[in-house]
């Protein structure tokens, strides 16, 4: 007959074994979910010959208090660099992700540029990004009020709602361009001082900007604000920074011709949708900019969706389908996007080759 102590020990062992089994099941489910959501995939091959170094930095903007918290802390930006390991002088290109994007949203594009002789800096916009992990390991997730505001009131064509949208668009652009200005100024200051890492190889006289969605919009806005930007690419972003007022239920557009060469990349569905609206008397800001810009070109990707201009369809096909992709082959599409981006910046930042970009892919 077992003693009470032996029975207790036996029961405790059963509990431990049961807990281990439960933990193993939970871990197995978590691993399975991760594999389903983020299956292993092969990165698109780069076409350049430069070996690429990658570094990250987190910088605190002492001129701005973080408005998404009430702690009084300064806003901090994490920036990821891709750049050639070989000594030299290379143009600088700055990338801004879309709403709920991440610092690696266009990892393959950044690798492609760096392998062809560019220093590329991708900015993680805290509280606009789905998450940001700074160099100290601190993780900041998307602000839920911002998350909701992106979807509220869109497409209503109601004048009152449109005015509310106009106000929040201006707030978004002010935050994003302040982030980009701070990062650009910090990079250029470090380059001037000849600091190590990516800063020692930057050609500060050649600067390009590109971004996806909201990041494309803020890149266009910054290209108008600064006089040191040489070329801009907007990957399917409505150019919200070109709104300069709101009257009689509609946004007023900046009448000054856009001063920097700008490439407007869209899916054919987005292009056709705004074309149809223009026939009804609605004027789309990107097309207005294009008609008045000093140097504008639009490229349309047939069968692409909004997220096909990022790496997400490769990194997480399930999430990408939930969020919006087309029927195009994801790998072929992002490879074509990367080729277009490289061709545009080669032409304007390196005076290299011809601008052989098709109007439609």
Q: What backbone phi and psi angles, to 5 degrees, belong to 243?
A: -75, 125
Q: What pLDDT is recorded for position 2?
A: 53
Residue 27: the pLDDT is 41
Q: Strand 262-267's sheet: what is its strand order?
A: 52-65, 74-84, 119-124, 90-96, 202-212, 231-235, 262-267, 296-301
Q: In the prediction, which pLDDT does 287 show?
A: 94
Q: What pLDDT does residue 26 have? A: 46
State the 10-residue block means of pLDDT for the chain, 361 residues long.
53 50 46 56 93 98 97 97 98 97 98 98 98 97 95 72 93 98 98 97 98 98 98 97 94 97 92 74 91 96 96 93 92 97 98 92 95
Please count the CA atoms within 13 angstroms of the CA of 254 that sit on its side-chain side.
17
The alpha carbon of 268 is separated from its chain's Cα centroid by a whole number of angstroms, namely: 20
Q: What is the pLDDT of residue 277?
A: 74
Q: Exposure string (b/e) for 336-347, b if CB count within 10 Å is 16 or more?
A: bbbbbbbbbbbb
**Predicted TM-score of the model (pTM):** 0.89
Distance of CA 266 to the CA centre of its chain: 15
- Nearest one of 166, 159, 158 to 249, comparing CA atoms: 159
């Amino acid at each position: 007959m077992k003693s009470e102590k032996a029975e207790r020990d036996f029961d405790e062992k059963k509990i431990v074994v049961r807990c281990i089994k439960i933990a193993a099941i939970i871990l197995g489910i978590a691993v399975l979910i991760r594999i389903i959501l983020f299956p292993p995939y092969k990165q698109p091959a780069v076409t350049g010959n430069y070996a690429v170094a990658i570094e990250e930095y987190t910088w605190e903007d002492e001129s701005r208090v973080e408005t998404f918290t009430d702690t009084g802390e300064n806003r901090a930006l994490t920036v990821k660099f891709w750049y050639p390991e070989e000594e030299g002088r290379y143009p600088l290109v700055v990338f801004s992700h879309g709403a709920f994007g991440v610092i690696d949203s266009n990892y393959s594009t950044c690798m492609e540029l760096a392998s062809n002789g560019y220093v590329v800096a991708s900015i993680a916009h805290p509280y606009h990004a789905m998450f940001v992990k700074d160099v100290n390991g601190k993780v900041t997730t998307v602000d839920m009020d911002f998350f909701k505001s992106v979807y509220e009131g869109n497409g209503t064509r109601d004048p009152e709602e449109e005015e509310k949208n106009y106000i929040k668009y201006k707030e978004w652009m002010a935050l994003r361009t302040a982030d980009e200005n701070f990062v650009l100024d910090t990079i250029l200051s470090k380059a001037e001082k000849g600091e190590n890492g990516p800063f020692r190889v930057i050609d500060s006289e050649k600067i390009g900007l590109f971004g996806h969605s909201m990041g494309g919009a803020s890149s266009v806005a910054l290209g108008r604000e600064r006089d040191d930007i040489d070329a801009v690419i907007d990957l399917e972003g409505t150019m919200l920074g070109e709104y300069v007022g709101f009257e009689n239920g509609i946004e007023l557009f900046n009448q000054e011709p856009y001063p920097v060469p700008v490439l407007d990349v869209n899916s054919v569905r987005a292009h056709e949708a705004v074309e149809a609206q223009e026939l009804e008397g609605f004027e789309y800001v990107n097309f207005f900019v294009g008609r008045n810009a000093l140097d504008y070109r639009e490229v349309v990707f047939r069968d692409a969706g909004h997220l096909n201009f990022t790496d997400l369809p490769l990194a997480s096909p399930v999430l990408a389908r939930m969020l919006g992709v087309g029927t195009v082959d994801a790998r072929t599409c992002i490879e074509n996007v990367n080729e277009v981006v490289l061709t545009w910046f080669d032409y304007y930042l390196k005076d290299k080759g011809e601008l052989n970009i098709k109007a439609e892919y």
